[in-house]
């Protein structure tokens, strides 16, 4: 019954530690066929430009393309159109642990950084790998900041990290053909440290590849901009997003199309929107069920309902009560102004045409207070089954109150 909240991606494989595995092959990336061809061609023609800036909107797959490109360059058995996914280089890329692949990204002081230390990208490599593998390299800046628990404004690629970047090029590659350094959110490079990096971009050692990634070209230092080859990554067309999500997830066509329409080419946003609408629909079904049970006062069924719904985690229960408040407000709006102007789905409207008289001017405030109280207590770790039983009994009484009473 609760599987709706736990939809997993189709075909996700797990390794022995049950961490999600991913192969960042070109074929895994959504759309961007033109860019993929262009990048592959540079390898075939032996014209890999040593400093490139991948620039484009969030959700277009800049980081995924950068990793796939680096993996392809270093693959020992590459094909015409992709890396093999099986050679020793690909296997290390798969876990993002290749010794010749380096990442730099904005960081800040957190609890894990000692008072005397400067925060470095290396210190957060565990979190970085985790976030990337969980999300097939489609990550947003907000997700990164949340992952390492920092605020946006503080984060920077600092001078100490810039020195580290240069250090990576001091030695020959351990195993790979190319040393690859990927700098994510290059606009966050500490400006005063940039000259050091410029020098290495201008006189790069053999077989090195710098990929800078940015969604904000205006904030990148012009001196860096003028020394890198710009690779413009466009947003993914809706049609391609739809097909890709259809092939990987068990959602309905309508859900996918609605979400993609709103997501403006952002793959991650589209997925998030689908999830939200799925959840909303689930809470709607559970809300109707609770109201019916409370109306009939069937204690055995109420008990069964409670033991099911309290399997949800606390965050989900909070969302359920928030949803109940949202419906309560809309019932009152319908009572006062009719159903025409409320913003609800067709199914919700169909239900509320009949149900809204039950939450009315005589009991509406009490309904809202009860759901708010439940929300308050669930946030403070109240015992959920007891809370639901209490709530159900109160709702049973409230449902019997009509405005004329």
Q: How far is the CB of 168 from Zn ion (least distance, A)?
A: 22
| Nearest CB to Zn ion, comparing residues 98 and 235 | 98
| Nearest CB to Zn ion, comparing residues 74 and 228 | 74
Interface ranges with Zn ion (CB under 5 A): 75, 83-84, 87, 90
Contact between 54 and 66 under an 8 Å Cβ cutoff? The reply is yes
| Nearest CB to Zn ion, comparing residues 83 and 155 | 83
Tokens at residue 151, please?
């605020």
Q: How far is the CB of 88 from Zn ion (least distance, A)?
A: 8
Q: How far is the CB of 81 from Zn ion (least distance, A)?
A: 13
Q: How far is the CB of 177 from Zn ion (least distance, A)?
A: 12
Q: DSSP 3-state assignment of 36?
A: helix
Contact between 87 and 75 under an 8 Å Cβ cutoff? The reply is yes
DSSP 206-266: TTEEEEEEES-GGGS-HHHHTTSEEEE-PPPPHHHHHHHHHHHS---HHHHHHHHHHHTT-
Q: How far is the CB of 40 from Zn ion (least distance, A)?
A: 14
What is the C-alpha separation between 181 and 104, in angstroms, rounded? 8
| Nearest CB to Zn ion, comparing residues 179 and 201 | 179
| Nearest CB to Zn ion, comparing residues 90 and 107 | 90
| Nearest CB to Zn ion, comparing residues 75 and 395 | 75
Q: How far is the CB of 93 from Zn ion (least distance, A)?
A: 8
Contact between 374 and 288 under an 8 Å Cβ cutoff? The reply is no
Q: How far is the CB of 87 from Zn ion (least distance, A)?
A: 3
Which residue is it, tokens 């990290």? Answer: 161
What is the C-alpha separation between 182 and 128, in angstroms, rounded? 13
| Nearest CB to Zn ion, comparing residues 86 and 250 | 86
Q: Walk across the sheet containing 51-55 and list its strands.
A: 101-104, 179-184, 208-214, 51-55, 229-232
The closest of 104, 43, 49 to 68, measured between CA atoms, is 43
């Amino acid at each position: 019954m609760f599987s709706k909240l736990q939809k997993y991606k189709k075909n996700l494989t797990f390794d022995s530690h049950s961490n999600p595995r991913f192969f960042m092959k070109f074929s895994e990336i959504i759309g961007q066929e033109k860019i993929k061809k262009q990048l592959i061609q540079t390898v075939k023609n032996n014209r890999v430009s040593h400093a490139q800036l991948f620039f484009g909107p969030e959700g277009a797959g800049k980081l995924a393309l950068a990793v796939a490109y680096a993996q392809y360059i270093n693959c020992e058995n590459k094909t015409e159109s992709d890396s093999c996914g099986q050679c020793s280089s690909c296997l290390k890329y798969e876990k993002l642990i290749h010794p010749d692949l380096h990442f730099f990204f904005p960081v800040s002081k957190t609890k894990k950084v000692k008072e005397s230390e400067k925060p470095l990208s290396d210190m957060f490599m565990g979190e970085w790998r985790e976030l990337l593998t969980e999300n097939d390299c489609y990550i947003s800046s907000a997700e990164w900041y949340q992952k390492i628990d920092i605020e946006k404004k503080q984060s920077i690629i600092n001078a100490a990290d810039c020195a580290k970047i240069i250090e990576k090029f001091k030695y020959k590659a351990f195993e790979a053909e190319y040393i690859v350094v990927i700098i994510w959110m290059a606009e966050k490079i500490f400006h005063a440290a940039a000259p050091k990096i410029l020098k290495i971009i201008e006189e790069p050692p053999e077989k090195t590849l710098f990929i800078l990634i940015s969604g904000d070209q205006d904030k990148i230092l012009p001196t860096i901009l003028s020394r890198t080859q710009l690779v413009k990554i466009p947003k993914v067309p809706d049609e391609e997003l739809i097909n890709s999500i259809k092939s990987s997830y068990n959602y309905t066509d309508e859900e996918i199309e609605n979400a993609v329409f709103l997501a403006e080419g952002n793959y991650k946003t589209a997925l998030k929107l689908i999830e939200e609408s799925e959840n909303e629909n689930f809470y709607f079904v559970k809300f109707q069920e609770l109201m019916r049970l409370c109306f009939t006062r069937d204690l055995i069924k109420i008990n069964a309902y409670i033991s099911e719904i309290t399997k949800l985690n606390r965050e989900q229960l909070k969302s359920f009560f928030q949803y109940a408040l949202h419906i309560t407000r809309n019932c009152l709006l319908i009572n006062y102004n009719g159903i025409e102007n409320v913003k609800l789905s067709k199914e919700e409207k169909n239900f509320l045409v009949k149900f809204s008289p039950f939450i009315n001017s005589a009991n509406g405030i009490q309904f809202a207070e009860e759901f708010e109280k439940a929300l308050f207590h669930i946030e403070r770790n109240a015992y959920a089954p007891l809370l639901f039983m209490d709530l159900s009994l109160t709702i049973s009484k409230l449902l019997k109150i009509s405005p004329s009473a």
